[in-house]
């Protein structure tokens, strides 16, 4: 009987220690995310399993080109994945399939080296971003609900940035 009690006590200690280590990491540092839909193809496909870094944006601001997971501004219970195009204080202009960034440095076309050159961004949009707002787009511009449709993304809605694709293994990549 004593051996059984010792066994259960040792098992309980292992479970408690594991929970004390895993739970804070899972909820405050890294978070899993499944891609649903085609809005980020070809970078991420439906069903990809990603690991999201929730910690780095507490120490630095998001940068242009990073892929982020965020609470959809019109329904915070939903999670979206998009690429950051416009930064706070900039004006993003989409015209004739091209994106132009207007900032204090001047006006320049957006260099989207992560996309095939044939990708056009449809729409006729000009949006000036506030101090804590971002402009986000899906890589698959024809199948993406993004800032062109629902407006800017507030910084407080950003959950984190994609750091690794964990599944499928054949497509394992760091972002």
Rg of the chain taking only CA atoms, in angstroms:
20
Catalytic residue among 82, 144, 147, 152: 82
Catalytic residue among 13, 36, 39, 105: 39
124-174: pLDDT as tens digits? 999 999 999 999 999 999 989 999 999 999 999 999 999 988 777 655 554
Determine whether 155 is an active site residue.
no
81-136: pLDDT as tens digits? 999 999 999 999 999 889 999 998 899 999 888 888 888 888 899 999 999 999 99
Determine whether 145 is an active site residue.
no
Cα distance between residue 98 and residue 16, in whole Å:
54
Cα distance between residue 54 and residue 14, in whole Å:
27
- The DSSP letter of residue 1 is -
C-beta of residue 172 within 8 angstroms of C-beta of residue 162 = no
Rounded to whole angstroms, what are the CA distances from 157 to 109, 122, 154?
A: 27, 25, 6
């Amino acid at each position: 009987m004593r051996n059984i009690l010792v066994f259960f006590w040792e098992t309980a200690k292992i479970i408690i220690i594991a929970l004390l280590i895993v739970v804070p990491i899972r909820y405050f540092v890294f978070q899993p995310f499944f891609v649903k839909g085609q809005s980020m193809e070809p970078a991420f496909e439906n069903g990809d399993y990603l690991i999201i870094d929730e910690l780095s944006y507490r120490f630095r601001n998001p940068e242009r080109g990073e892929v982020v997971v965020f609470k959809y501004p019109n329904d915070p219970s939903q999670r979206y994945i998009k690429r950051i195009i416009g930064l706070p204080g900039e004006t993003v202009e989409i015209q004739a399939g091209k994106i132009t960034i207007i900032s204090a440095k001047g006006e320049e076309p957006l260099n989207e080296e992560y996309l095939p050159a044939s990708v056009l961004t449809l729409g006729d949009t000009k949006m000036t971003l506030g101090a804590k707002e971002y402009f986000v787009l899906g890589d698959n511009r024809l199948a993406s609900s993004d800032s062109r449709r629902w407006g800017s993304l507030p910084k407080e809605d950003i959950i984190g940035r994609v750091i690794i694709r964990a599944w499928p293994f054949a497509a394992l990549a760091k972002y």
